[in-house]
A and B are shown apart, each in its own frame.
Chain A
Amino acid sequence: MPEVMSPMSAGTITQGETDWYSVYVSPGTSSLTMDLNWGYIPDSLTLTVLAPDATLGPYYDSSDGTMNGRITLQVTQAGGLTSGTWKFKVYGEQVLGTQSYNFVTY
């Protein structure tokens, strides 16, 4: 068993299902990195970012240049990101059965 037992959320999703998440971005934050990891290439999940002042995406497995069942992207903005609550839409675009995933930001 791993030494650290974490309550970190690991969601599950089915085809056509949408999960929403939010993160508060403090004033002065220069970048936000998103890591959506489901690790199973045949399934397709998408990630859409709803910033307080813009809609970014949807992003697909290939959006980060690698087809690996994982989307790792970094958002930056000159002068810092707009502070406020950023929302994230995780969508099960093509899922066989139920797919578990992990979504974290840095």
Chain B
Amino acid sequence: MRSPSVRSAALVFFILAGIAQVAAAGTGSYTIEAVSPEGLAGTAFDPLPISFFDLSFREMLIALCLSFCPLLVDLIEFLFFLKLMTALGYRKAEHNVIFNNQNRHAIYDYITANPGIRFNALERLSGMKEGTLKYHLLVLMAKRRIVSVESGGFLRYFENNGRYTDLEKKMFLHLQNPTTRRVLEILSSFPEVSRKDIAGIMGIAGPSITWHTNRLSWDGIIKTQRTGKGIRYILCSAGAGIFRQFREQNTMMAERGVAAGKDTSG
């Protein structure tokens, strides 16, 4: 008859052998290869920033192990491999269920590829019925995968990357229009510039300037002042700060070559 110590040793051996096998199978089945920055190809995808609390139970355990005792990572993987956690009453929360629906996933892809897309454009691109599209948009918003921003009287949809305020998103939308962007550059360089001055600098008619400034004004980016017969525009402090931030960020990225798909570091 075997002693308890022999049985314990055999159990430990079995667990260690299992861990080794899982470690080999888990990471060994994936191949990691270095890629030269020049070799980066395809569309760059901006990952979604999340918090620790958005991680699944397994990932939280692994994250804690990585911080305090990396050697335990393989043990956690082993336990999940054997689904012992299920035997202990743990039920895996299915975070990906939201994307199991092809239509919803397609909508999410359209929004990711077209930041600030409008409902009508989504309807046209997806070919879905209005009610279906509304339902999936509501689900994606409830799950915090996307956010909507009202601009120019329309709802526009963004991937929820959690880094930008509503005003920053509106600014981003305006910056997509070269004429509006030029108006903002002028307002940034010449505070309290008049409509006539802007029209003169840009060489376009006053009513066209009004169309762009009205949209900026509706979104709270600029203020309008009547001075006698003329109109002056002032970039509001929040709008000026955001515009400066976007410009500096893009300039910095361009100078350092940090933008996706570029390389300056060799």
Contact = CB atoms under 8 A, between A and B. Distances in A.
Interface string B36-58: 11001111111111111011000
A63 B33 CA distance: 9
A21 B264 CA distance: 25
B134 interface: no
Contact of A55 (B36, B37, B62): B62
Nearest to B162: A9
Given A22-B48, A68-B266, A103-B47, A78 B59 contact: no
Interface residues of A, number: 58
A87 B45 contact: no
Contacts, number: 169
B96 interface: yes
Q: Is the interface of A mostly helix, strand, loop or mixed?
A: strand
Which has the most chain A C-beta neighbours within 10 Å: B49, B67, B161?
A: B49
Contact of B40 (A35, A51, A55): A35
Contact of B77 (A20, A54, A74): A54
A69 B263 CA distance: 11
Interface residues of B, number: 65
Contact of A102 (B63, B95, B175, B259): B259
A39 B30 contact: no
A15 to B, nearest CB: 14
A104 interface: yes
Nearest to B47: A21
B256 interface: yes
Interface of B: 26-27, 29-37, 40-52, 54-55, 59, 62-63, 66-67, 73, 77, 95-96, 99, 105, 115, 158, 161, 163-164, 169, 172, 175-176, 181, 185, 246-247, 249-254, 256-260, 263-266
B47 A54 contact: no
B99 A10 contact: no
B117 to A, nearest CB: 13
Interface in A12-28: 18-24, 26
B229 to A, nearest CB: 33
17 contacts: A1-B185, A5-B176, A8-B44, A9-B46, A10-B258, A20-B49, A20-B51, A22-B47, A26-B105, A35-B40, A39-B257, A63-B34, A76-B31, A76-B33, A78-B29, A101-B258, A102-B253
